[in-house]
């Protein structure tokens, strides 16, 4: 039995690197420090997976040798005139580097999952820029933390504990004591409510009134947290104040804050369902903080307004910097989606949706992003790695995707691998293969190899290299 | 005269019957170019790439049988960066600002930058360990920690940016002068500079401290620069430089505001001419659309307020900060034109070419691809006059350039573009063509005996734009300005051997979780992470 320390967790963008794993006979038997998502992956990753490469013959996926699968995949890519290579956010930077080279070689389009999550954030950043930082900066200094349209308690479970409210910094102390007392209050209220509902047989607390004043803790000189969301979440319960915004009204709310911060008057009594006097008080807290941070999630990027919402949020933090220090950061989802953007950018100049069909990198999201290409039915083959678009893309895009030859590289069995023509079962990067990945704040960390993969499961990097090698060989033969 | 090359080195002679012969008659042969300061890789450069698709659209490079595709202009993609340097005859390039926490990123990009040898300087001037140790007077411990950092980040030199100011920027503040204490740390920029200068000496680093001064980009800052140079005067050994002031142009402004801003080059040049402990690089401004990026967060914020352009800020915990603002230098702007003039004044007024080197602080003053233009301005009064006739009238009136007759010759150009830089960097095997040097050679198609560059500056400019041959490590990699053989370069890093390594490890381990949000064991970069690592062993005095 060995204990491996300092393991990075290949699940979400928080990318914790303090995981300890107990390994016995090439099997992970225990996980320490990880959240439920991380522990579940480390303990159960190999319970449901493909072990052999598959190639579709006469409509059936049949087992094949790795060489046969590589040959078939290379043939598909060489025969295609406009293939798409999509996914990348759940694999290592080393694999992504080969991926860009392969796309360039076959003159295709490469895109990562930013296209369906923070793609609009990238477009806004290209419009106005972004004032950001690494997460430790916030642990040490931030005294006002906004989570806007994101729910880290469920989606990035250790984010609050490691980097914001409950972390201990040099200049700011952890606020967990305040949370505990608040939690006590919340729990007893819930109990009361349940009891009252049982007795009276109706939901007595169904629509709580919006509080007309901020709680006392918001005016104290200590760390505080505000959550802005369309519904009450676990994160909202942990916050000092929860601002409930009406769905699709984030833009109005952000612009209202901008006006207040610029000392302009609002001629209405409420904005996006929030009374103006509350907004004024929150704006005062923003201006008066030592260092504020606004984390925003896909609730902002994928609701009505999309990139314009993010524009408003970025501009709000820009404005705030003339009063105090205020930063902003997107809550990236996959553990290496940031890395995918980063590698694409240093090799091609652009972070996603890159078209190599002219022989040089071209970027025009809306035209060169995969969903748009698929909806127009322009792609004639695809390679999907570490992603499951058949399950998650719009129906029309998914239909057009599976109509054409499809190569899937994935350790798991997914709807995409089930519909594919060639399937490469790969090793789990971060568990069975090493590499590099980028945390949501652009800090690069190593992915470790903890156990040996099954013999038939190669790392993504090696599978891609073999395909690239074969493609080059086939193209040389054709010329 | 023949130059013999074998196994990547310059040798006394080779078997002429078997050797491949490159005919460089009627051409200029120089050592491969060395760039002491250009931002080509890492977190901030890449954020600049992501920020500016509009910068790339106008300048693309298609894939060829030998080369990868990419985009260019002010922040080229990595492959394009390597190819473009090589086409100009450059073979060694130094990336000057690396946040230590994000060192892995910088090295991944440097590995994807082909054709040139490279190295990178970690930002250490505002690292908490440095501030605390220097405040407490623990010089040797500080040195041992810096040594650990060089090895952990695979760094080459101590980079100091706006000392004290970046820590203050963590809360949106800055420091005003060399004696303005940093809040919470009770240390002044002067103490940081002097401390790290002594640390640098204790560690026997090949390069001096590499300093971006306080108050950079502010009118009147030439006084801060003079003060910065003076503050380490007593620490220098006779004849040896102790400090490198980088992109000095941005730190040589006179005047009290932008209306009265003028050149402080004369005063700085006078000081440098009388002292031997300083080296400088120019930071030449080119009239073009470019992208400014430095670790100087407060300066970049000021530039954003001045220009209203898009702005990126990236503070790095415990260590440093960074900022990016796109910028266009305009001929007709009095300030920009004065900046253009200042860098040339510095280069021409400082008599000894071994003290000042040619850079644009790529991409801050303009992209490195503009180097041939700077060479033309340095070599030809006519070229300067021609540009002068197009700039702002107010800047022209104030400029010292019309009063300077000096024109550099080819030998001096070789010093300011390679030999001087290699010497300042302590790269003994670069920057010359003596026996034992690396076989990095640039051949330019211009006949120095026939062409007078002060008159035919366009011919010189053309020649320096496209090397006739670039030889890297003994292999012909460029011919007639075209890549003929793609190669990987080495990554140099300084492997400092100290007598205290174990205690340092314990101290750092103890503080690691307190200071950073990553684990100790995930911080250092293993040697095998680099594509072609080239450690330079150095024995420290601690």
Name the residue in chain A with its Cα closest to that of B54: A126
Residues of A in contact with B81 (CB under 8 A): none
Of residues A17, A171, A443, nearest to B102 (C-beta): A443
Q: A291 and B101: CB-CB below 8 Å?
A: no
Strand, coil or helix: A238: helix
Q: B520 and A6: CB-CB below 8 Å?
A: yes
Quote the pLDDT of residue A204: 67
Cα–Cα distance measured from residue B177 to residue A462, given in angstroms and rounded to the nearest whole number:
54
Size of interface A-B (CB pairs under 8 A): 182
Of residues B41, B55, B69, nearest to A356 (C-beta): B69
Quote the pLDDT of residue B351: 95
Q: Name the residue ranges covered by the structural domains of chain B.
A: 4-492
Of residues B49, B304, B522, nearest to A446 (C-beta): B522
Reply yes or no on domain A50-116+335-429+454-478 having CATH 3.40.50.740: yes
| pLDDT band, residue A207 (cuts 50/70/90) | low
pLDDT at A206 over 70: no
Q: A444 and B108: CB-CB below 8 Å?
A: yes
For residue A123, what are the contacts with CB-CB under 8 A and spacing of at least 6?
Answer: A307, A310, A365
Strand-pair partners of A426: A458
Name the residue in chain A with its Cα closest to that of B99: A443
Residues of B in contact with A360 (CB under 8 A): 60-63, 69-71
Quote the pLDDT of residue B527: 85
Closest approach of chain B CAs to the CA of A198, in angstroms? Answer: 47
pLDDT at A396 over 80: yes
Of residues A6, A361, A362, nearest to B521 (C-beta): A6
pLDDT tens digit string along A51-78?
A: 999 999 999 999 999 999 999 999 999 9
| Strand ranges (E), B399-459 | 441-444
pLDDT tens digit string along A364-392?
A: 999 999 999 999 999 999 999 999 999 99
Strand, coil or helix: A231: coil
Closest approach of chain A CAs to the CA of B57, in angstroms? Answer: 8
Residues of A in contact with B292 (CB under 8 A): none
Closest approach of chain A CAs to the CA of B37, in angstroms? Answer: 19
Average pLDDT over residues A9-37: 95
Contact A256, A268 (CB under 8 A): no
Q: B315 and A93: CB-CB below 8 Å?
A: no
Cα–Cα distance measured from residue B196 to residue A303, given in angstroms and rounded to the nearest whole number:
51
User: In this structure, which topology does domain A119-330 adopt according to CATH?
Assistant: Dimethylsulfoxide Reductase; domain 2 (3.40.228)
Quote the pLDDT of residue A202: 75
Percent of chain B whose pLDDT exceeds 90: 93
Q: Is A209 exposed, middle or buried (0-12, 13-18, 19+ CB in 10 A)?
A: exposed
Closest approach of chain A CAs to the CA of B42, in angstroms? Answer: 9
Residues of A in contact with B313 (CB under 8 A): 130-133, 327
pLDDT at A210 over 60: no
Cα–Cα distance measured from residue A447 to residue A91, given in angstroms and rounded to the nearest whole number:
10
Quote the pLDDT of residue A99: 97
Name the residue in chain A with its Cα closest to that of B58: A362
Q: A347 and B317: CB-CB below 8 Å?
A: no
Q: Name the residue ranges covered by the structural domains of chain A.
A: 50-116+335-429+454-478, 119-330
Chain-centroid distance of CA A260 in Å reads 31
Strand-pair partners of B292: B325
Residues of A in contact with B171 (CB under 8 A): 141, 290-291, 325
- Mean of all residue pLDDT scores within chain A: 93
Start-end of H helices in B275-409: 297-307, 334-349, 371-379, 381-388, 393-398
Average pLDDT over residues A298-321: 94
Q: Interior CA angle at B90 toward B89 and B93, to 5°? A: 175
Cα–Cα distance measured from residue A86 to residue A445, given in angstroms and rounded to the nearest whole number:
23
Please give the full DSSP string across B272-286, using - where no structure is assigned.
HHH-SSEEEE-----
Q: pLDDT tens string for chain B (542 positions)?
A: 899 999 999 999 898 888 999 999 999 999 999 999 999 999 999 999 999 999 999 899 999 999 999 998 999 999 999 999 999 999 999 999 999 999 999 999 999 999 999 999 999 999 999 999 999 999 999 999 999 999 999 999 999 999 999 999 999 999 999 999 999 999 999 999 999 999 999 999 999 999 999 999 999 999 999 999 999 999 988 778 999 999 999 999 999 999 999 999 999 999 999 999 999 999 999 999 999 999 999 999 999 999 999 999 999 999 999 999 999 999 999 999 999 999 999 999 999 999 999 999 999 999 999 999 999 999 999 999 999 999 999 999 999 999 999 999 999 999 999 999 999 999 999 999 999 999 999 999 999 999 999 999 999 999 999 999 999 999 999 999 999 999 999 999 999 998 877 777 788 888 898 999 999 999 999 988 999 999 999 999 88
Of residues B108, B317, B519, nearest to A6 (C-beta): B519
Q: B172 and A321: CB-CB below 8 Å?
A: yes
pLDDT tens digit string along A83-113?
A: 999 999 999 999 999 999 999 999 999 999 9
Contact B122, B103 (CB under 8 A): yes
* ipTM of the modeled complex: 0.95
Of residues A5, A134, A324, nearest to B316 (C-beta): A134
Closest approach of chain B CAs to the CA of A344, in angstroms? Answer: 9
Residues of B in contact with A327 (CB under 8 A): 313, 315
């Amino acid at each position: 039995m060995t204990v491996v320390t300092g393991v990075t967790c290949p699940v979400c963008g928080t990318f914790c690197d303090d995981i300890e794993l107990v390994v016995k006979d090439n099997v992970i038997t225990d996980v320490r420090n990880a959240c439920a998502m991380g522990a579940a992956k480390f303990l159960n990753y190999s319970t449901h997976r493909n072990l052999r490469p598959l190639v579709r013959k006469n409509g059936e996926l049949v087992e094949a040798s790795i060489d046969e699968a590589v040959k078939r995949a290379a043939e598909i890519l060489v025969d295609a005139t406009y293939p798409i290579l999509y996914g990348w956010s759940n694999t290592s930077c080393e694999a992504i580097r080969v991926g860009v080279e392969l796309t360039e070689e076959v003159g295709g389009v490469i895109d990562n999952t930013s296209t369906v999550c923070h793609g609009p954030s990238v477009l806004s950043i290209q419009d106005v820029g972004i004032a950001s930082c690494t997460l430790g900066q916030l642990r040490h200094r931030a005294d006002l933390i906004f989570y806007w349209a994101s729910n880290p308690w469920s989606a990035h479970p250790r984010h609050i504990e490691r980097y914001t409210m409950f972390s201990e910094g040099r200049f700011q102390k952890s606020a967990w004591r305040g949370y505990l007392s608040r939690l006590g209050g919340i729990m007893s209220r819930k109990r009361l409510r349940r009891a009252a509902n049982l007795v009276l047989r109706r939901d007595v607390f169904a629509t709580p009134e919006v509080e007309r004043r901020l709680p006392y803790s918001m005016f104290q000189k200590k760390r505080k947290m505000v959550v802005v969301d369309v519904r009450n979440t676990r994160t909202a319960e942990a916050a000092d104040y929860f601002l409930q915004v009406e769905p699709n009204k984030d833009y109005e709310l952000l612009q209202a804050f901008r006006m207040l911060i610029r000392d302009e008057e609002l001629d209405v009594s409420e904005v996006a369902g929030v009374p103006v006097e509350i907004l004024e008080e929150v704006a005062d807290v923003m201006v008066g903080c030592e260092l504020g941070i606004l984390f925003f999630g896909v609730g902002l990027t994928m609701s009505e307004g999309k990139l314009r919402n993010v524009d408003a949020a970025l501009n709000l933090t820009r404005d705030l910097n003339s009063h105090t220090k205020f930063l902003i950061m997107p809550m990236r989802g996959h553990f290496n989606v940031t890395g995918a953007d980063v590698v694409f950018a240093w090799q091609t100049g652009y972070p996603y949706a890159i078209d190599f069909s002219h022989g040089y990198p071209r970027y025009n999201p809306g035209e060169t992003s995969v969903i748009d290409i698929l909806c127009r039915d322009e792609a004639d083959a695809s390679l999907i790695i570490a992603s499951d678009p058949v399950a998650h893309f719009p129906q029309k895009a998914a239909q057009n995707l599976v109509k054409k030859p499809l190569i899937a590289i994935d350790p798991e069995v997914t709807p995409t691998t089930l519909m594919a023509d060639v399937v490469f079962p790969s090793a789990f990067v971060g568990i069975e293969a090493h590499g590099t990945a980028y945390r949501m704040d652009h800090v690069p960390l190593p992915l470790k190899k903890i156990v040996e993969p099954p013999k038939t499961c190669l790392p993504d990097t090696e599978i891609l290299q073999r395909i690239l090698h074969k493609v080059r060989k086939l193209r040389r033969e054709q010329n | 005269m023949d130059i013999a090359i074998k196994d990547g080195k310059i040798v006394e002679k080779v078997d002429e019957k078997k050797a491949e012969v490159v005919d460089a008659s009627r051409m200029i042969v120089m050592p491969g170019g060395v760039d002491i300061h250009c931002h080509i890789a890492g977190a901030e450069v890449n954020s600049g790439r992501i920020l500016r698709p509009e910068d790339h659209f106008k300048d693309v490079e298609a894939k060829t049988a030998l080369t990868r595709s990419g985009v260019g202009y002010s922040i080229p993609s990595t492959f394009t960066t390597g190819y473009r340097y090589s086409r100009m005859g450059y073979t060694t390039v130094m990336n000057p600002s690396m946040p230590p926490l994000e060192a892995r990123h910088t090295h991944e990009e440097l590995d994807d930058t082909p054709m040139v040898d490279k190295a990178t300087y970690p930002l250490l001037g505002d690292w908490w360990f440095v501030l605390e140790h220097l405040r407490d007077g623990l010089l040797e411990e500080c040195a041992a920690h810096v040594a650990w950092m060089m090895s952990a980040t695979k760094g080459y030199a101590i980079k100091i940016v706006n000392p004290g100011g970046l820590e203050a920027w963590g809360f949106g503040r800055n420091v005003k002068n060399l004696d303005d204490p940093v809040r919470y740390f009770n240390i002044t920029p002067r103490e940081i500079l002097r401390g790290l200068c002594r640390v640098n000496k204790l560690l026997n680093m090949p390069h001096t401290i590499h300093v971006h001064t306080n108050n950079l980009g502010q009118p009147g800052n030439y006084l801060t620069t003079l003060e910065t140079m003076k503050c380490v005067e007593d620490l220098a050994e006779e004849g040896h430089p102790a400090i490198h002031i980088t992109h000095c142009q941005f730190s040589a402004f006179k005047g009290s505001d932008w209306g009265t801003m003028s050149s402080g080059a004369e005063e700085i040049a006078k000081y440098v001419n009388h002292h031997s402990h300083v080296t400088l690089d120019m930071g030449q401004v080119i009239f073009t659309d470019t992208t400014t990026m430095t670790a100087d967060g407060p300066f970049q914020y000021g530039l954003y307020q001045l220009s209203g352009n898009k702005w990126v800020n990236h503070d790095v915990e415990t260590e440093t900060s960074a900022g990016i603002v796109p910028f266009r230098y305009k001929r007709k702007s009095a300030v920009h034109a004065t900046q253009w003039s200042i860098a040339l004044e510095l280069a021409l007024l400082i008599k000894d070419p071994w003290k000042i080197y040619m850079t644009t602080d790529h991409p801050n003053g303009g992209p490195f691809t503009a180097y041939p233009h700077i060479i033309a301005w340095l070599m030809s009064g006519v070229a300067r006059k021609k540009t002068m006739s197009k700039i702002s009238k107010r800047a022209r009136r104030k400029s010292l350039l019309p009063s300077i007759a000096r024109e550099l010759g080819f030998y001096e150009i070789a010093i300011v573009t390679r030999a001087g830089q290699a010497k300042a960097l302590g790269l003994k095997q670069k920057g010359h063509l003596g026996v034992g040097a690396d076989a990095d050679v640039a051949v330019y198609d211009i006949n120095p005996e026939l062409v007078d560059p002060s008159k035919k500056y366009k011919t010189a400019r053309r020649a320096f734009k496209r090397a006739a041959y670039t030889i890297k490590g003994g292999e012909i990699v460029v011919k007639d300005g075209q890549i003929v053989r793609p190669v990987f370069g080495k990554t140099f890093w300084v492997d400092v051997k100290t007598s205290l390594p174990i205690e340092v490890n314990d101290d750092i381990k103890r503080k690691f979780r307190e200071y950073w949000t990553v684990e100790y064991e995930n911080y250092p970069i293993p040697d095998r992470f680099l594509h072609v690592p080239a450690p330079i062993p150095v024995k420290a005095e601690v």
